[in-house]
Chain A
Amino acid sequence: GESVGLHLPTLSVQEGDNSIINCAYSNSASDYFIWYKQESGKGPQFIIDIRSNMDKRQGQRVTVLLNKTVKHLSLQIAATQPGDSAVYFCAENSDYKLSFGAGTTVTVRA
């Protein structure tokens, strides 16, 4: 079965609010994690990554948090915009393979 999963399949957010997307992983040996954004009919785009020796990493409007104790990963998007509407996947690297969860569909309300 899948080793990576997201807590909620859908998330509706008001434009301008912050979004939090959660992900749980099961392989404690995973050492590298990535968040991807996928728009309809397109390939996934890299958003941000984090290695297991870090707890937090920030990018432009995005922050990834890693809690290795409970094997939990989250993506925070600040000031959500209509262009942020997409499916978001977390991926974990273990055994030299990237494994993906089912994704969270984020819809931004105007």
Chain B
Amino acid sequence: DGGITQSPKYLFRKEGQNVTLSCEQNLNHDAMYWYRQDPGQGLRLIYYSQIVNDFQKGDIAEGYSVSREKKESFPLTVTSAQKNPTAFYLCASSIGLSTEAFFGQGTRLTVV
């Protein structure tokens, strides 16, 4: 089945550690996105990528980094520079930047 997969579903890390969240899609989509969602809030854009080996900062990129070495993969690293990393992280993909985005099931990151 085609889809977008995020792993793991739950992730716990100690404060000060970097952590990488996985996002893989087999939809052959060019565009991929990372969003952050806090309780009772909407989604805020962290990074997005229109094509392999290219990505742009979203609205809240500070403390995060990404790579896009393969079309199907867009991992997100939450660095120790992110002051409040505990959140629900959502990855999405779309055929292009102005089309419907399909979302993964999310990774809930808790930093203790």
Report if A25 contacts B (CB, 8 A). no
Report if B84 contacts A (CB, 8 A). no
Interface mask (A62-74 → B, CB under 8 Å = 1, otherwise 0): 0000000000000
Number of A-B contacts (CB under 8 A): 54
Contact B42 A42 (CB under 8 A): no
Partner of A96, one of B44, B90, B98: B98
Q: Chain B residues with Cβ under 8 A from A93's Cβ?
A: 97-98
Interface mask (B87-112 → A, CB under 8 Å = 1, otherwise 0): 00010100001111111111010000
Distance in angstroms between the alpha carbons of A42 and B108 in the assembled complex: 10
Distance in angstroms between the alpha carbons of A91 and B97 in the assembled complex: 13
Contact A98 B33 (CB under 8 A): yes
Report if A86 contacts B (CB, 8 A). no
Report if B25 contacts A (CB, 8 A). no
Using C-beta atoms within 8 Å of the partner chain, give the interface range for chain A. Answer: 20 to 34
Report if B41 contacts A (CB, 8 A). yes
Contact A100 B106 (CB under 8 A): no
Q: Chain A residues with Cβ under 8 A from B101's Cβ?
A: 34, 46, 98
Task: List the B residue with the shortest CB-CB distance to A102.
Answer: B42
Task: List the B residue with the shortest CB-CB distance to A46.
Answer: B100
Distance in angstroms between the alpha carbons of A102 and B41 in the assembled complex: 5
| Residues in chain A within 8 A of chain B (CB atoms) | 2, 4, 31-32, 34, 36, 41-46, 49, 89, 91, 93, 96-103
The 9 closest A-B pairs by CB, nearest first: A43-B103, A96-B97, A100-B42, A100-B43, A102-B42, A44-B103, A43-B105, A43-B106, A101-B42
